[in-house]
Amino acid sequence: MNFILQINELKKYFGNVKAVDGLSFKISKGEIYGLLGPNGAGKTTTIKCILGLLEPTNGKILVFDKDPIEDDIYIKNKIGYVSEEPLIYKSLTPKELFDFIASVRKLNKEKTESIISELLISLEANEYINKPIAVLSKGNKQKMQIISALMHNPEFLILDEPLSGLDVRSNKIVKNIIKMHAENGGSVMLSTHLLEIAEGLCTRIGIINKGKMIAEGTLEELKNLAQEAGAASLEDVFLKLTKEDQSVQIILQKLRETLK
């Protein structure tokens, strides 16, 4: 099988804090893989290791069969990345940002302008093209970051909570863009703590907690796991596996008593 990403026993420690603790999974070509877990599970740290922004404490990562630290330029040319909080030059306008990225990536001008134009229209963001990014709303900054990630038609999209701040219409369009990207042969890793996003998009899902993989499979396999665990839904099995089900019940009981 043609794997875009291979992670084997990845560990990343910050002093005594084990952000990622022996994580292993693979993503194949054309797949939408959901990395699902509660806040603080180690999802963003894993992504930063994949991108070569953090060096692993231990373990092995291969992206396109290359090491992210040793072959970072090669890998970055093939990746589009959307972070939860927009990491874009806020002193520029979107047009200046897109021109800068196109120049650095040496993209075909006519083709790139066509892609950018279509995405701006689709996301209703055309009117902001010449406004400083600093004055845009969070949702519009996120739209510009998504366009920046897609404009070179990357082989591998890495999305960390990409729908954060988007309105309902843009949310739906971005979900369909993700599906189209995979249909066209691209691969996607979608990191989220929202189960409904992973359910509607992902071909396979890995559930992580405290830096460890605690369940992995297709949506159907995870639903079967939910039934075996005596859970009524995938949401219930997620809470059970991450050991948050009891705390949720305690909180709800206290709320019932307080809000009578």
Q: What count of residues does the chain have?
A: 260
pLDDT in tens, the chain (260 residues): 589 999 999 999 999 999 999 999 999 999 999 999 888 889 999 999 999 999 999 999 999 999 999 999 999 999 999 988 776 778 899 999 999 999 999 999 999 999 999 999 999 999 999 999 999 999 999 999 999 999 999 999 999 989 988 999 999 999 999 999 999 999 999 998 878 888 888 999 999 988 999 889 988 888 787 777 666 566 677 777 676 666 667 777 777 777 76
The model's pTM: 0.87
Q: Is residue 96 part of a domain?
A: yes
Residues with Cβ within 8 Å of 56's Cβ and at least 6 positions away in sequence, in order, are: 10, 11, 12, 20, 49
- DSSP letter, residue 66: B
Q: Is residue 240 part of a domain?
A: no
Q: Is residue 250 part of a domain?
A: no
pLDDT at 232: 58
Pairing mode of beta strands 204-209, 187-192: unpaired
Q: Is 80 within 8 Å of 150 (Cβ atoms)?
A: yes
Pairing mode of beta strands 204-209, 212-217: antiparallel
Q: Is residue 234 part of a domain?
A: no
pLDDT at 176: 93
Instruction: List, in sequence order, every beta strand (DSSP E) within the chain.
Output: 3-14, 17-28, 32-36, 58-63, 79-82, 156-160, 187-192, 204-209, 212-217
CATH number at residue 131: 3.40.50.300
Q: Which domain holds residue 42?
A: 3-217
Domains contained in the chain, number: 1
Q: Is residue 45 part of a domain?
A: yes
Q: Is residue 259 part of a domain?
A: no
Q: Is residue 242 part of a domain?
A: no
Q: Is residue 65 part of a domain?
A: yes
